[in-house]
Structure 1
Amino acid sequence: MKNAIYVLFLICFSLSAQTKYITKTGVVNFEASVPSFEEVKASHNLVTAIINIENGEFAALALVKGFRFKNALMEEHFNENYAESDKFPKATFKGKIKDFNIVDLKTETAFYTIKGELNFHGKTKAFDALNISISKDNDMIILSGNFKAKASDFDIEIPKIVSNKISETIEVSFEFNMKKK
């Protein structure tokens, strides 16, 4: 009887695992540059993301200290003064893709909207219709997009002394190449 329960558990687990695609090497970039001043730009290439292909639920997690800047001092300021990454170590997004159906995915890019919430710096911002693109390449689902957010949406204050050098509007882009779990 014990073995039958164990086999049933394994079968159920393997069936549910087939409905998810995941990556641990997703890429998120952001830029808050202002023309004529030093570039304020960072990239993170170890972001975890998962999509449930049965219902279109999507989630992503980035450790804030994983963002890399060209300038080490700028990276230090970002972590200590703006993101306060010791206090708020994670950024997350959780949402659901509208009208998602795995059967509809082809190698050609399809466009969808996702409704969800981004949590950063201890604050949550809702997105009602964030535009994304999705395609399928053999056993991989490629999800990408971009959006804009304001530093003030996440209670990040830009000091007056540098306010003309850092944009209040942050442009964020992302790409996740997810494989079957």
Structure 2
Amino acid sequence: MKTKLILAILLSTAFLGFSQSKKMTKTGDVKFEASVPSFEEVKAQNSTTTVVLNTDNGDIAALALMKGFRFKVALMEEHFNENYIESDKYPKATFKGKIDNFDMSKLSEAEKEFTINGTLELHGKSKKITAPAKIKKSGDSIYLTSAFSVNSDDFAIEIPQIVSKKVSKKVNINVDCVLK
């Protein structure tokens, strides 16, 4: 119940700042990987990420619930939520930013490269992020993909010494969404 309330408040706040020209999804796909060669892959996917884009000015906001990440190995998912991310204490990750030089009228079915600047909040810490993005328009939908890396230390995510050689501090993140 508390998580739904937080989601409703965040989305309401995001919508208030946007004009009528917005595109959104509740099924954005976020994948992360913190694997180290020669060890079991540390990889998860969340296909319930909410993303909202103001098509007038390029403002963008996203919210991913931490318990929405799915791993191949159930024990890894449990450790992620209880020991690393502490999902009960920090239930969500948010991003608020702007797509530089965004102009809806110049989008077409050919992908264009953009830069997104903003703030990622995760595990109770905030970090400025700059990420490349590829964006295209097809019909009434906007397709957005992005790939960037963050460091777990920037978000005070502790990796226990016993598994420190099996989990990378560099976390590669991929975002893929269709905004309607």
Aligned to 1:24: 26
**What is the distance in 2 between the residues matched to 1:109 and 1:98?**
15
**What is the distance in 1 between the residues matched to 2:69 and 2:156?**
19
1:115-173 Cα offsets, whole Å, 9 max, x none, are 1000000001102x311110001110011111011110100111110000000100000
Aligned to 1:104: 106
2:157 match: secondary structure: coil
Aligned to 1:165: 166
The residue identity in structure 2 corresponding to 1:38 is E
**What is the distance in 1 between the residues matched to 2:34 and 2:101?**
32
Percent identity between matched residues is 53
**What is the distance in 2 between the residues matched to 1:109 and 1:54?**
19
Aligned to 2:62: 60
Aligned to 2:9: none
- Select which of 33, 36, 45 maps to 1:34: 36
1:135 match: secondary structure: strand
TM-score, normalising length from structure 1? 0.88
Aligned to 1:5: none
**What is the distance in 1 between the residues matched to 2:147 and 2:127?**
15
- Select which of 38, 46, 53 maps to 2:48: 46
The residue identity in structure 2 corresponding to 1:100 is F
Structure number with greater Rg is 1
Aligned to 1:141: 142
**What is the distance in 1 between the residues matched to 2:86 and 2:174?**
21
The Cα of 1:114 is off from its aligned counterpart by 1.1
Aligned to 1:75: 77
Aligned to 1:113: 115
**What is the distance in 1 between the residues matched to 2:158 and 2:63?**
23
**Structure 1 unmatched ranges of 5 or more:** 1-12
The residue identity in structure 2 corresponding to 1:166 is V
Give the superposed CA RMSD.
Answer: 1.0
2:78 match: secondary structure: helix
1:174 matches 2:175: yes
State the 4+ residue runs in structure 1 displaced beyond 3 angstroms.
Answer: none
TM-score, normalising length from structure 2? 0.89
2:89 match: secondary structure: coil
